[in-house]
Every structure is written in structure tokens, then in C-alpha cells.
Chains A and B, each alone.
Chain A
């Protein structure tokens, strides 16, 4: 079941004196799809790691009615699924089945239930018959889909994606957009690939130097060229390029 996210005045630093997140506040409704853009090093991945309490900064993160804190971590981890940028960071079991079953088994499902969940999650990713495949023999596109399946198998209410479109060919991007469109969860998607991001999100936030510069309807954010440039996107380039090739 999709649940909302509320972040209030979140600050974080890895090393003393070097703030990576500065007073970040965001309000994301249940079932909403929020895109986050920003130049590299802006703190996007760091922000995502706060959603399920892997990192804990100063400030408040709420998932639904539950505050993210040490006590609530088991609950939070079940609610929030994180899809890492590099599938090799996510897939550490020898076989696809063991990897996808890892979450459900940890969350206390029986082996039978876990097996059902594995089958469903792989089915949703068009990966039927991959149960016994070795993850290291799969292509990158397949590994990315397996990585997403490992998260879907726990049916989280919130799914956070870190650069889901990077190093995918355009056919796979379109395929992934289809999958994202069908997901029944609150989505937070960090990406530098503006076109697919804009096409699958309701709202866009711009994160620069650890600060939220703007957060609003995607049409409004995309129209503000100065803001987009701060976020690392040169809209003029896109406009000119498409004028040239699409006429």
C-alpha cells in the first residue's frame, strides 16, 4: 500500500564540517511520483539512503505515520524499497532466485510464500525462467530488472530509484518506463536522464549542493531555464537539438 513521505529540515554530513544535505524538506503524497534532478555530487544518493534509515542525519523523516528511527527500522525497511544505481551492488547471491527471495525471507515469509513472491516479481519484470540463472552471467539490462525484482518481491509502499535509466539502451528505458508506470507505490526517482524522468514523474525537485532549490509540478520546473541550469540541465541545448532533428 502506497504511503506518503515527509522530510523536515534534514541535514547530514559524512565528515565534520562538510555538509552534504542542508535543511532538506520535502512532502510527497501517497502514490505520488517525485523526480529529483541535480548535478553529480549534489547529495541525491545520500538523500535516498535516509529514506530507509541506512543513514541518519539531523531532522525528521516520516514514512506514512512512522518516524524513521532506530526503533522503527524493521518496519521502515519493509515499507521502503531501495533500487541501487549499480545492480552489482544489489545482487550478491549466486542465483537470481536466492537474491529475489532474500528480502521476503528476511521479512519473515515462509519459503513457500517467498517462492510465490519470487515468481510474481520475476513475472512482472518479464524474467520468467531466470530463477536458477547466475546473476553474473546476465546482461546489464537483465541485472537491472532482477535488481528491481528483488525490491518488488517485498511489495514496499515506497520505492526509491537511484539513476534507474543510466546505461540502459533506449528500448530498455521505454520498457522500464512501462514498468514504473504500473507500480502501485510512492516513487522517488533520482536521475540525470531528463527525458525519461520527466515523462514518468508528477513533480520534480531540484537538489543543488545539498539544498532543495525548487520542488513543483514538472511543467513549472522544466519551464524555469535558470533553475534547470542550476540543476545541471541546459534546456536550451535540448530545445535546439530537437528543433534541428525533429522538423
Chain B
């Protein structure tokens, strides 16, 4: 079956896709740390972060609609957090002297923007290269080997589970004209149990196939990543740019608004 729900744009060719996964990992996580450490309440720096991230997105050639859709999936949590914040801080209401941008609202907005930008950065990270290369990058950066193997197996088998889910759902639907008449809970429960048992049996067979090829408990390693200047420079430049915004934003805001 054809899958595209996890890595639809990882095959694109863009300057960002060509960067070593380790450099991308470090750049993305540094950026998240820099943006999240921005104090609450100042909005100006987020405009700069937004412009930088927008520019990055354009460079990756990933359609912004795709990224926004992904964000939407998690946005309820973020929105709840952002909206409830101004209401939960003592003394910081939503409206103040007929003015909407109170301290509380601005804090809520910064919470929202921090989460949103972090999310976009993570989506860009996972969409700008094959997942297995990202894992290899994690491993090279010191992720425990077992964790890497488990993640790799999960990534491989999530597609097969997805197939199994589709297949059993089709089988179910083709025999249920209209609404399900028996207990819905029971039908879905049986389906889940079926998928679970099949996965369990499959894991046994997969293990057999691993044994057949000499598996003795140690996963061999074929990673062959090499970092070049072409990887370090753009990643370093990106981090430096965000860091600059982070450092000069405070004096800049003070000068502009006071």
C-alpha cells in the first residue's frame, strides 16, 4: 500500500534537505531553546523569529499548508494553554482601560507563538530528510543504541500496522451495510484485539527471520554520515541569527516603545 502520512516530503531536494541530519538536529533544538527562553510578554522578537522561520520554510519547498495542517492536530492543547493563561494570572485581565493587549494577553500570545514555532521547527526537522537518517544522526549524537533500534523498528512497523488497520476496517465495513447493529464497542474491541494478536505473531516471525540471518542480540551498524563545512555553516548561521534576535530584542524593544 502507498503511504504518505509520515514522510511525504522527505524526498524533496532542497538546500535544507541536503544538510547532514546531525546539523539539522542541533540547529532545530538550539532554535527551540532560544525561542522558548524568550521572556513572556514581548512580542517584537517573535516577529523576527517568525520571519526567519518563514524564510526557512520557503527554502525547504515544503508547502506551508502541510505544516499548518500538522500543527492543527496539536493546536487545541496549545490554544487552551494560551487562552487560559491571561485568565489565570492574578491582576492581569483580558481588557484593561479599553485596551486589549494587556500584560496577560501578551503573555498568552507569546506562549502560543513559542509552542507554534517549536512545532513548526520539529515538523521541518522531520520533513527535511528520511527518518532513518535522522535516527542515525541521533545515534551519532549519543542516543542509546537500543533506543535507536526500537525507534527504527517502530518506524518500519507503523506502516504495516496501518495496513492491518486499513485491511481489518475494510473487512468490517464491507460486511456492515449502514450502521453497525451489534455493540459498536464490541466490534471495535474485537478489531483492536485482532490487530494486537497479529502483531504479536508477526513479531515472532520477524524474530525468526532475524535469527535466520545470524542475529545474536547485537544490531549491526551501517551508518555512514560525514559532516562537511556545507552542513556546519548553514546550521551555525541559522543558530547565530536567532541568537542575535534573542540578544538584541530587549534593548531594541525598550528603545522603540519607551
A residues at B contact (CB < 8 Å): 49, 52, 54, 74, 77-78, 80-82, 84, 86, 88-95, 97-98, 101-103, 105-107, 111, 114, 132, 134-137, 150-151, 154
B48 within 8 A of A: no
Q: Which residues of B contact A94 (CB under 8 A)?
A: 130-132, 135, 152, 155-156
B141 within 8 A of A: no
Q: Which residues of A contact B209 (CB under 8 A)?
A: 82, 84, 89-90, 92
B185 within 8 A of A: no
Evaluate contact between B220 and A106: CB separation under 8 angstroms: yes
Evaluate contact between A103 and B213: CB separation under 8 angstroms: yes
| Bound Cα distance A134, B2 (Å) | 12
Evaluate contact between B214 and A95: CB separation under 8 angstroms: no
- Selected A-B contacts with CB under 8 Å, 14 pairs: A49-B208, A74-B214, A84-B209, A92-B210, A98-B222, A101-B220, A102-B220, A103-B213, A103-B214, A106-B215, A107-B214, A135-B156, A136-B156, A136-B160
B3 within 8 A of A: yes
- What's the minimum C-beta distance from A173 to chain B, rounded to whole angstroms? 22
Evaluate contact between A150 and B213: CB separation under 8 angstroms: yes
Interface residues of B in 183-229 (CB under 8 A from A): 202, 205-206, 208-216, 218, 220-222, 224
Evaluate contact between A93 and B152: CB separation under 8 angstroms: yes
Evaluate contact between A95 and B213: CB separation under 8 angstroms: no
- Interface size on B (CB < 8 Å)? 31
Known: A52-B212, A77-B211, A106-B215. 15 other contacts (CB 8 A): A54-B211, A74-B216, A77-B213, A84-B209, A93-B152, A98-B222, A101-B222, A102-B215, A105-B220, A106-B218, A114-B222, A134-B132, A136-B160, A137-B3, A154-B213
Q: Which residues of B contact A150 (CB under 8 A)?
A: 213
B residues at A contact (CB < 8 Å): 2-3, 7, 130-132, 135, 152-153, 155-157, 159-160, 202, 205-206, 208-216, 218, 220-222, 224
Evaluate contact between B212 and A95: CB separation under 8 angstroms: no
Q: Which residues of B contact A81 (CB under 8 A)?
A: 212-213
Evaluate contact between B205 and A89: CB separation under 8 angstroms: yes
Q: Which residues of A contact B205 (CB under 8 A)?
A: 84, 86, 89
Evaluate contact between B222 and A105: CB separation under 8 angstroms: yes
Contact flag A89-B156 (CB < 8 Å), given A84-B209, A95-B132: no
Partner of B160, one of A88, A101, A134: A88
Contact flag A93-B156 (CB < 8 Å), given A84-B209, A98-B222, A101-B222: yes
Q: Which residues of B contact A105 (CB under 8 A)?
A: 220-222
Partner of B153, one of A82, A92, A107: A92
Evaluate contact between B213 and A106: CB separation under 8 angstroms: yes
Q: Which residues of A contact B208 (CB under 8 A)?
A: 49, 54, 82, 84, 89
